[in-house]
Every structure is written in C-alpha cells, then in structure tokens.
C-alpha cells in the first residue's frame, strides 16, 4: 500500500489510528505490528515471508549476541554478530543485486548465466539497514537488547517508515518502543506534518514528475538546451518533493503514534556547497553510512589516503544502495569526487565568494547529479546529456517555450516551497495572533491541501512510486 492512495487515506489510516487511540497502551505495539504486517502484505503478499524471517533471525541474533556478551564469551558474540550481518547483507544482495552482478559477469564474456529476474521486496533496503544498525548497536553495547519479540517486530515492520524511510536506528526510538505518551497536540501537529508531506508528493512531485516524464521521452530531434534543462529542473523538484514528502508523512504519522522520528530533509536546495547538501539531504541515510561504513572502516583516523578510500567506499555504496545499476554507482562516485574536492580546497574558497554564487554552484552540480541518477528513465541518456551541454542541439525551440511558460508558475512555487521562505512568511504574518488562531490558519491550509490531493488522486493523475528500486 502506498500513502498517496485513497485506500490508504480513507480506509487504512482511519481504521488503524482510531483503533490505536482507543486501544489500551500495553496492546498498542501489538496493534501496530498487526497493522504493519497487513500494510506490507497488501502490496507484497509473498514477500511478507522475507520480512518475517528477517525479523526472526535478527531477534534471535540480538538475543544471542547479548547473552554471549553477558557470559563474557566475546568470540561467540562476535561470531553471531558477523553471521547475522552477513545474512542481512546476503538477503539484500540476493534480491537487489543478483541480476546486476550476473550481467557484469556475462559482459566479461566468460559466463552466460541466465538472469533470475525477481522483483525486489519493497522496503527491503530500509528495513535491512535498520536490522543491521540494531545488531551492530547491540554488539557494540551502545544499546540494550530488545527481549520482547512483539516490540522488536513492530520496530522493524512499522508501516510509517517501512517503504521509504527515514532509516530510524534502533537507539533513536528504543525508549519510545517501550513507553510513549500520546497527546492531542502531537496528534494534531503530526496530522499537519502528514498532510504537508502528502501535498508535497501529490501536488508538487507528481506534477513535476509528469513534466519530467514528458520531456525525458522527447526524441533527440525535438529537444533543445532549454527544454533539457527544464526537464532536469523538473526532475530535481520531483525527487525532492517525492522523497521529502514521504519522509514528512512518515514523521507525521510517527508523531501521531507517539514517536519522534528523526527529520530526514532540511531544505537541501538551500545548500551553498555539496558538503552542506549532504548534511541536509536524506539525513538518516548519510548518517547510517557514516556510522556503519565510514567510521568502522577507520574514518579519518588513519591518514588522508585511507580517508579518501573510506569516503570512496561509503559513496560508491551509497550510490549502489539507490538501485542496482551503474548510473547509481557513478552518481555516488560523482558526489565522492565533489566532496573530496570541497574537502581539499574548494570549501575554503567558497567561504570567500558571494553566497549567491555558492548557491548557483551547488545547485548546478546537484541538478547535474540528478540527471545521472535519472539516466535509467531517459530514452537516450547520451543524447540527453548532449542536449544539456548544447552539442548539436538548438538553444531553444517552440516546445521549450510552451513548456516553460505553462510550467513556470509551478516551478517558481516549488522553488519557494523547497526553502524556509513559506514557513517564515507564515510565521511573520501570524506573529501577532494567539496560538489558537495561528493553529487554525495552518489548519485551513491543511484542509485545502488534503482535498486537493484527494482530488488529484481520484482523478487518476500521474502518481508514480519511485522506491521500487531502493
């Protein structure tokens, strides 16, 4: 089931949340587990087995690791830890990367292995990262073992962040899994957060996505530099509003349930360097790679050469995490190179020049990065890149002018909406009002967003799901 659907909004959500509020506190985790399993099985009835096995294995591994540690048997603890990490990675690898590597082998010419062509269980990249973080934290002793199977299963399968993040590490919600307070304030603010996210996805991302889809399907003969850049900008907005919209919906629902999930996006398109961008974009994922790949590899503690290598590994894997295709690996390495250059000298230089130029610099490389990211969706990536660069392509054509003036209003709204500006304006305008009045003004916005989003969903407007590859 996806959040941006009528069945979720008008059936699943009201039933689950009303039941949750009426249910006694001690049964809530069980209810949430049940709801999450139904949520997952709705779209992936077969793959529920994969998730349930993952829960069982990691629960057991956690218990064993902590038991051996208590009994001062570090070798056994380490063995269980390593085996469970390998199992987690192998599961993810099997479903996500087998065909990718079979094709690499086949391309070398020495092998002719038929591809297995299996669908990726939705959300596996997210919940596998959560199980790995749990086992690693238990092994490192930074978190206590979860002895209650229902609680553990609920943590892994929790529907708000199951399919598109954020990656909630166990330690971040450990206390709330055991005991969390519900308040009418958290419910109301959570609802507002959820609706904001829904609007980002349905009102912004889907419209930008439709624009991108049309332009990316353009035959090279009909393309122009202006059109190609318009497409790239549209995709830039689509991916941000889609992804951050999903995260907002997850965080909002988490808050409605009494959790405090970490924020996943912090106005990334306001960034003035690539380094800053990655502090603001998909924060939970970059943090995960930092904590569980970069730092264990030695981080910056073993000299600059080793540090560069560690960064390279972390970024190549970050790229690969986004999908089993070369363009994602290249996309990761692209950011590795940019980050390395910034680390070496560029950041110091950027601090001396006007902020606007820094912003343009950052946005240029961010947008170019998204073109690499989207290569798999473009009919002819090489021609598209030529069009962006103006090679054998006119600067503009009628089609570009048409698309520009019919979408400029949307693009400007999205540009403003991807910054802090709207929130600041709203705060300014309502600063003299009391708390209740301010709340109702926001509430009216959420009513409009909700009804508009439902209208767009019902009318069958373009509504893609971007996370089937993650």
Q: Are the C-beta atoms of 457 and 6 separated by less than 8 Å?
A: yes
| 171: nearest Cα among 267, 292, 327 | 292
Nearer to another protein, 295 or 404 (CB): 404
Site pattern 201..240 for another protein (x: CB under 8 A): ------x-----------x--x------------------
Select from 229-237, 262-270, 415-423, 446-454 the region that touches another protein (CB under 8 A): 446-454
Q: Is 359 a catalytic residue?
A: no
Segment interacting with another protein (CB under 8 A) among 110-118, 339-347, 357-365, 402-410: 402-410
- The CB-of-447 to another protein minimum distance in angstroms stands at 7
Q: What is the four-CA torsion angle of 20, 24, 27, 28, rounded to 10 degrees? A: 30
Q: Is 16 in the site for another protein (CB under 8 A)?
A: no
Q: Is 110 in the site for another protein (CB under 8 A)?
A: no
Q: Which ranges constitute the DSSP H helices of 200-352? A: 206-216, 225-257, 274-280, 283-289, 304-321, 326-341, 347-350
Q: Total residues contacting another protein (rule CB under 8 A)?
A: 54
Residue 457 binds another protein (CB under 8 A): yes
H or E element in which residue 78 lies: helix 74-108
Among 20, 42, 93, 267, binds another protein (CB under 8 A): 42
Residue 19 within binding range of another protein, rule CB under 8 A: no
- 191 contributes a contact to another protein by CB under 8 A: yes
Q: Does 387 bind another protein (CB under 8 A)?
A: no
| Binding of another protein by 108 (CB under 8 A) | no
Task: Select from 181, 166, 147 the least CA-distant residue to 28.
Answer: 181
Judged by beta carbon, residue 48 or residue 347, the one nearer another protein is 48
Both tokens of residue 408?
Answer: 């400029």
Taking the C-alpha atoms of 186, 191, 193 and 195 in order, what is their torsion angle to the nearest 10 degrees?
180
Residue of the chain from 111, 402, 422, 433 that contacts another protein (CB under 8 A): 402
Q: For residue 210, how far is the Cα from the chain centroid?
A: 20
Q: Does 464 participate in binding another protein (rule CB under 8 A)? A: no
H or E segment at 61? helix 48-70
Distance between start and end Cα atoms, the chain? 16
Figure out which of the listed residues 93, 97, 309, 399 binds another protein, where binding follows CB under 8 A.
399
Closest contact distance (angstroms) between CB of 453 and another protein is 10
The active-site residue, picked from 28, 69, 322, 403, is: 322
- By CB under 8 A, residue 395 contacts another protein: no
User: How far is the C-alpha of 248 from the C-alpha of 66, rounded, in Å?
Assistant: 34
CA 299 to chain centre: 24
- We find the least distance from the C-beta atom of residue 424 to another protein, in angstroms, to be 23
Q: Are 348 and 390 in contact (CB under 8 A)?
A: no
| Closest to 277 (Cα-Cα) out of 375, 369, 345 | 369
What whole-number distance in Å separates Cα of residue 51 and Cα of residue 124?
A: 8
The residues annotated with a catalytic role in the active site are: 322
Residues in contact with another protein by the rule CB under 8 A: 1, 5-7, 9-11, 13-14, 17-18, 42-46, 184-185, 187-188, 191, 195, 207, 219, 222, 398-399, 401-402, 405-410, 413, 435-436, 439-440, 443, 446-447, 450-452, 454-461
């Amino acid at each position: 089931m996806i959040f941006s659907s009528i069945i979720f909004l008008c059936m699943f959500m009201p039933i689950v949340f009303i039941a949750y509020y009426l249910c006694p506190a001690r049964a809530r985790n069980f209810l949430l587990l049940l709801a999450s399993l139904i949520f997952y099985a709705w779209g992936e009835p077969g793959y529920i087995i994969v998730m349930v096995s993952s829960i069982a294995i990691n629960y057991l591994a956690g218990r064993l690791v902590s038991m051996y540690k208590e009994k001062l048997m570090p070798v056994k603890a380490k063995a269980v830890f390593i085996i469970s990490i390998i199992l987690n990675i192998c599961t993810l690898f099997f479903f996500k990367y087998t065909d990718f590597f079979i094709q690499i082998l086949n391309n070398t010419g020495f092998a002719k292995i038929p591809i297995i062509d299996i669908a990726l269980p939705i959300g596996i990249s997210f919940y596998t990262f959560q199980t790995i973080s749990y086992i690693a934290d238990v092994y490192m002793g930074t978190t206590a073992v979860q002895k209650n199977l229902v609680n553990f299963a609920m943590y892994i399968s929790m529907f708000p962040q199951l399919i598109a993040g954020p990656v909630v590490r166990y330690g971040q919600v450990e206390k709330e899994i055991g005991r969390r307070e519900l308040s009418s304030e958290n419910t109301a603010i959570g609802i507002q957060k959820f609706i904001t996210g829904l609007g980002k996805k349905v009102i912004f991302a889907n419209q930008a996505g439709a624009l991108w889809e049309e332009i990316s399907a353009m035959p090279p003969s009909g393309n122009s530099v202006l059109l190609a850049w318009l497409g790239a900008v549209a995709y830039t907005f689509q991916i941000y509003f889609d992804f951050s919209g999903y995260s907002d919906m997850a965080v909002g629902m988490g808050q409605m349930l009494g959790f405090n999930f970490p924020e996943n996006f912090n106005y990334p398109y306001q960034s003035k360097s690539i380094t800053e961008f990655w502090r603001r974009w998909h924060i939970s994922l970059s943090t995960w790679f930092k904590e569980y790949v970069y730092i264990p590899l030695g981080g910056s503690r073993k000299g600059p050469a080793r540090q560069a290598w560690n960064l390279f590994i972390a970024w190549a894997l970050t790229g690969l995490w986004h999908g089993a295709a070369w363009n994602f690996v290249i996309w990761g390495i692209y950011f590795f190179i940019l980050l390395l250059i910034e680390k070496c000298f560029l950041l110091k230089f950027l601090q001396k020049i006007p902020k606007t130029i820094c912003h343009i610099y950052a946005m240029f490389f961010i947008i170019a990065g998204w073109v690499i990211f989207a290569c798999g969706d473009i009919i002819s990536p090489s021609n598209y890149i030529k069009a962006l660069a103006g090679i054998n392509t006119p600067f503009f054509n009628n089609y570009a002018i048409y698309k520009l003036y019919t979408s400029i209003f949307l693009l400007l709204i999205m540009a403003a909406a991807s910054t802090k500006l709207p929130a600041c304006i709203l705060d300014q305008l309502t600063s003299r009002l009391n708390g209740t009045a301010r709340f109702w003004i926001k509430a009216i916005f959420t009513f409009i967003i909700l009804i508009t989003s439902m209208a767009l969903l019902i009318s069958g407007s373009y509504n893609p799901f971007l996370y089937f590859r993650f």
